[in-house]
Structure 1
Amino acid sequence: MTAIFSSAAGLFITIPFLFYILLFTIIKQITKNHRLALNSAINATTFVLIISVHLIILTIWDRSFLALIILVMLVLAIMFTFYHWKTKEEIHYRKVFIGFWRFNFLVFSLLYVSLILFGVISRAKEALTV
């Protein structure tokens, strides 16, 4: 049973968009609510994307930039909070966190795709030069 869970976790961390599609489909079938399924799948996939980007960076450069990733996320959270305060003059923490978390989904999705392409191209160059 442990092997099944670790294999599934490995698959979803390697291909987080598969996790998104699977989660979206399951939630949509259970709730029949497209919006709830979309939001829930995005929220859960964001965490998986953060882990995936960290592991891809670790694979490509053999160094951990997890502290930098967390620092950038904290700076983004501060920026979101400041912007919300400036525009609304009152901070609604739930709205700020939702906006921040969804923005992270976008950022880490783009990072994931960019790093995958960079990794494939750099490994291909290595293979051709040897």
Structure 2
Amino acid sequence: MSVFLSSMIATFITIPFLGYLLVFIICKQVTKKHKKSVHLALDFSTLLLILSVHFMIASIWNRSYIWLIFLFLISTAILYLLYYWRVKQEIDYGKLFKGYWRINFLFFLTAYCVLIAIGIFNRISHLMF
């Protein structure tokens, strides 16, 4: 059972879109609300994307830069907090965290796509030379 569970977790971290799809389908069946299902699936897949970016970096460059990812997350939180406070003039922590988490989804989705391209290019260049 533990082998199956670890294989499933590894699959969802390697291919976070499968995690998105699974959470979306389950939430859609339970809640019957499309928009809420999309938001819950995006929130869950943000965590998968963060983990996936970490493992892709470790795989491509054979070094762990998890500290840099944490530093990026903290810096993004501070910058988003300042921006949110500047625009709204008061802080609603629920909305603040949702916005911060969804911005991280966009950042890490972009990083995931870039790292896939870099990884493919590296593998092809190692095969050719």
TM range (shorter): over 0.9
Instruction: Count matched residues.
Output: 129
Deviations 1:6-25 (A, max 9, x none): 11011101100011011101
Give the aligned residue type for 1:110: T
Measure, in 1, the Cα distance between the counterparts of 2:16 and 2:95: 25
Which residue matches 2:42? 42
Measure, in 2, the Cα distance between the counterparts of 1:39 and 1:102: 9
Q: How does 1:22-101 map to 2 (within 5 A)?
A: 22-101=22-101
Deviations 1:33-68 (A, max 9, x none): 111111110111111110000000000001111111
**Displacement, 1:82?**
0.4
Measure, in 2, the Cα distance between the counterparts of 1:31 and 1:84: 30
Measure, in 2, the Cα distance between the counterparts of 1:121 and 1:15: 18
Give the aligned residue type for 1:106: L
**Displacement, 1:115?**
0.2
Alignment TM-score, normalising by the size of structure 2: 0.97
Alignment TM-score, normalising by the size of structure 1: 0.96
**Structure 1 stretches (4+) deviating beyond 2 angstroms?**
none
Measure, in 2, the Cα distance between the counterparts of 1:96 and 1:23: 23
Deviations 1:50-106 (A, max 9, x none): 000000000000111111111111111111110111111111111111101000011
- SS of the residue aligned with 1:91? coil
Give the aligned residue type for 2:18: L
